[in-house]
Amino acid sequence: MKDIDIIIPLKAYAYDELDERSRALVDAARNATKGSYSPYSKFKVGAAILLDNGVTVTGANQENVAFPSGTCAERSACYWAGANYPDARFEMIAVASVGTDGVECEPPTAPCGACRQALLEYEVLAGHHVPVLLVGRETIYRLPSVQSLLPLAFTEF
């Protein structure tokens, strides 16, 4: 038997400490929360994905009266990107959220398990690590890759 520790490398930034490209993606994710349709949870999530063609694609959570039929912000963004820019590869992802009190969350919200798996598909397609920015009111967590958010992921069969 041996112990194996899996460490998730995470950096915490203030907005002003980020480079310009990251700040622009943070702005896009925050702005995308405005597209949230969340009358049931009243929890708004916005996601922004920078593609290697320079385009930034955004998405927001879309709920449904039949709860499981809704979708998260991350999946609405990555599936939009996949459907509309099938040849483009992901460069960076940002996720922002606004809580039921109407205030941006702090600490940042992290993607659910299903969204981690969905995003990982596009990181594998890109063939390189895709950094993820989790955007909070004060703190922005930067993970080096989607893979780092989903240790021991199911990637091949």
Under the rule (CB under 6 A), what is the footprint of ligand THU?
38, 41, 43, 45, 61, 63, 70, 72-74, 111-112, 115
Smallest distance, ligand THU to C-beta of residue 59, A: 8
**Which residue out of 63, 74, 91, 123 is catalytically annotated?**
74
Contacts of 139 (CB under 8 A, 6+ apart): 12, 13, 14, 106, 107, 108
Beta-sheet strands, E only, within the chain: 11-13, 44-51, 56-60, 90-98, 132-135, 140-143
Smallest distance, ligand THU to C-beta of residue 39, A: 10
Query: In Å, what is the CA distance from 151 to each residue of 9, 107, 125, 147?
Result: 11, 21, 18, 6
Smallest distance, ligand THU to C-beta of residue 22, A: 20
Which C-beta is closer to ligand THU: that of 70 or that of 136?
A: 70
Which C-beta is closer to ligand THU: that of 54 or that of 68?
A: 68
Which C-beta is closer to ligand THU: that of 45 or that of 132?
A: 45
84 touches 92 (CB < 8 A): no
Contacts of 112 (CB under 8 A, 6+ apart): 72
Smallest distance, ligand THU to C-beta of residue 46, A: 8
70 touches 59 (CB < 8 A): no
Which C-beta is closer to ligand THU: that of 17 or that of 114?
A: 114
Phi, psi of 83, rounded to the nearest 5 degrees? -75, -35
104 assigned to active site: no
Enumerate the active-site residues: 74
